Structure 1
Amino acid sequence: MTTRRSRAARRGGPAAGFLQVEGRQPVLELLRSDHPVERVVVARGRHGAAVAELLERARARGIPVEEVDPADVRRWAQTEGHQGVLALAAPLPRYDLLDLLDRAAARGEPPLLVICAEIQDPHNLGAVLRTAEAAGAHGAVVPVHRSAPLGPTVFKSSAGALIHLPVAQVTNLSQAVARLQERGVWVVAADPAAAEPYDRWDWTQPVALVLGSEGRGVPPLLLRRADRRVAIPLAGRVGSLNVSVAAGVLLFEALRQRRAGLA
C-alpha cells in the first residue's frame, strides 16, 4: 500500500463512470468475485483482519491499493458506514428478464425471482437483495424509475450481494410481469390483506415474488396482475413487517420447500 498522496487524491477524488463500493465487507465481497476493479482506497491508519484480507486479495489480483488521508475518504464517500474503505469498479452488468430465466435454467432449477416494486429506501432495497441472494434467488427485477438507485448505499446495504445477484432494471413493471407470465412463471404478490397464508403456496414452481414499499405496499396495478396473493400471518399488534424481513420469511420458505422436494 502506498504511503504517498494517491492519484485519486491528486485528481480530486474517485472518477466518474465507475461503480463506487464502500465499506469493508462490500469491498471484500467485490474482491472475492471476478468483477473488474480499478483500485481500492484505504484511509491511512486502518488495520484489522478484514483490512488485511482486503489488501491481500487486492494484491493477489494486481489491483492498486492507495492509502489516503482519512479526510479524503470522508469527502469522497457517499455512505456514512464506509469504514475508511472505498473501491472503484466497473459498472454492474446489464441484465434482461430472459437472462434471469436463463440463469435458473443453467442451474436446472425452476426460476425464483424477486420483483422489487417501488422500494425507494436504499437500505431496504439493499437488504432485500441481500436476502434474495442468500436464499438462492436467480435474480431480481427493479424499476428504473420510482426506486432507489443501485448505487453505493444499496450496494453496502446488500453486504456485497449485489455483485453476485443479477438485477434486471425495467422501465415498466407491469409489462415485465406479463413477460414472465407468458413464460410460465407464477407471479405471487406479498399482500397483508390476502387470504392465503404464505406457507400454503407451492414455492417449488417457477415463481416471481412481488414485494412493495413499506408505506404503500405492492402497487394496485401489480396486485391485480398477480396470479396469487399471499400473506404472512402476524401474532402481534404491529400490522406489518419491514420489507426485508418479509422477503426473508417468504424466500426462505421457498428455499425450505425446494430443499424438501430434493430430499
Structure 2
Amino acid sequence: MASGVKFNRLYGRNSCIGRLKENPKSIKRLLIEKGIEAGDIEQLSKSENIPVCYIPEREFNRISGDIRAQGIIAEVEHFRYSILEDVLDKPLENLPVILFLDNLNDPQNLGGILRSVACFGGHAVVLPKYDSVEVTDAVLRVAQGGENYVPVSRVNNLSWAIEIAKRAGYWIAGAVIEAGEDLTAVSLNFPLGLVIGSEAKGIRQGLLKHLDLKLTIPMQKTKLSFNVSTATAIFCYELYRRRKNT
C-alpha cells in the first residue's frame, strides 16, 4: 500500500461479497466496471447504503493494473487488528487455536494461511510488528475473504504474546520439519497455540524455550517439505479434527 493511501482495496467478486456480508460498515465505496453484470453486489451495497461508482473499462484497468479484479473493487478501511487480550478473554472451552507466526515475510503465505484457517473456524493469528509481513492488499487478495473470520493481532514481542497465552491456560506447540512428535499420533491438550517459523530459518531460538512440545507432519519423502502456507493448513486441519472429536 502506497504511503498516504487511506484504505485497502479488495479485488474480485468473492472478496467483495464476503466483505459486504460480514463487515459492510468497513466499505467506503465500490468501483464497478461499466457493462459488468453485478446485480447481487449492487443489491447488497444498496441495502447497506454503500456508494457505487461505475467506471469505464479503461479507467478501471488503470486502477486495477495487472490484478484480475473481475470488474469489481471495494475500497475498505485499513485492516483492523484485534487486541490479543480481547482474543483471550473467553471461557477456556471457547478459546481459539492461536497461530504465532514467527518472521513470516511472504504476503502470499499469510493470505493463504488466513484463507485456510477461516475454513476450519476457531483460529486466531498473532504477528510480530517487526521483521514480519502485515495485512496488506496483497494478503487480502490471497485471503479471499478469510480475513473476515480470523482475528489477527500484532504485538511488539512474540515471546511476550506466547507467555500471555500460557498464563491464560494455553499449551504451546512448535511446528518443526523433523524430530518432533508425529502430529497424527501425539496426544494434544487444548487450548493450544502453535508457533510457525519462517521457511528460511524455522522457529527462532528465543521462542523454542516456550514450547511444551514440537510437532512434525509425517511424510514419506523426508528430504522434501511443504511450504509454510500448506504446512500450516495441514497442522490446522488436524487440530480442528482433534478438537471437534474431543
Considering the TM-score relative to the shorter chain, is it more than 0.5? Answer: yes
Residues in 2 aligned to 1:217 and 1:245: alpha-carbon distance in whole angstroms: 15
C-alpha displacement at 1:206, in angstroms?
Answer: 0.8
CA RMSD of aligned residues (A): 2.1
Distance change >3 Å, CA 82–CA 220, structure 1 → 2: farther
1:228 aligned residue = 213
For residues 8-51 of structure 1, what are the alpha-carbon distances to aligned partners after superposition, in whole Å with 9 as ceiling and x for unaligned?
Answer: xxxxxxx832232222211111001134111100122323xxx3
Residues 130-145 of structure 1: pairs in structure 2 closer than 5 A? 130-145=115-130
Distance change >3 Å, CA 237–CA 138, structure 1 → 2: closer
C-alpha displacement at 1:166, in angstroms?
Answer: 1.0
**Are 2:70 and 1:94 aligned?**
no
TM-score (norm 1): 0.84
Contact 2:10–2:137 (CA<8 Å) still a contact in 1?
yes
For residues 41-76 of structure 1, what are the alpha-carbon distances to aligned partners after superposition, in whole Å with 9 as ceiling and x for unaligned?
Answer: 0122323xxx33222211221211111123333333
**Are 2:166 and 1:181 aligned?**
yes
Contact 2:115–2:146 (CA<8 Å) still a contact in 1?
yes
Residues 115-126 of structure 1: pairs in structure 2 closer than 5 A? 115-126=100-111
Instruction: Quote the sequence identity (%).
Output: 26
- Given candidates 36, 56, 72, the residue that maps to 1:85 is 72
C-alpha displacement at 1:182, in angstroms?
Answer: 1.9
Distance change >3 Å, CA 232–CA 243, structure 1 → 2: same
1:257 aligned residue = 242
2:232 aligned residue = 247
**Are 2:13 and 1:31 aligned?**
no
- Given candidates 46, 52, 66, the residue that maps to 1:59 is 46
Distance change >3 Å, CA 210–CA 81, structure 1 → 2: farther
Distance change >3 Å, CA 70–CA 86, structure 1 → 2: same
SS at match of 2:206: helix
Stretches of structure 1 that go unaligned for 5 or more consecutive residues are 1-14
Counterpart AA for 2:98? L
TM-score (norm 2): 0.89
Counterpart AA for 1:244? S
SS at match of 1:147: coil
SS at match of 1:181: helix
Count of matched residue positions in the alignment of Structure 1 and Structure 2: 242
Most deviating of 180-189 and 93-102: 93-102
Contact 1:111–1:185 (CA<8 Å) still a contact in 2?
no
2:7 aligned residue = 18
Contact 1:204–1:257 (CA<8 Å) still a contact in 2?
no
C-alpha displacement at 1:78, in angstroms?
Answer: 7.2
Contact 1:92–1:163 (CA<8 Å) still a contact in 2?
no
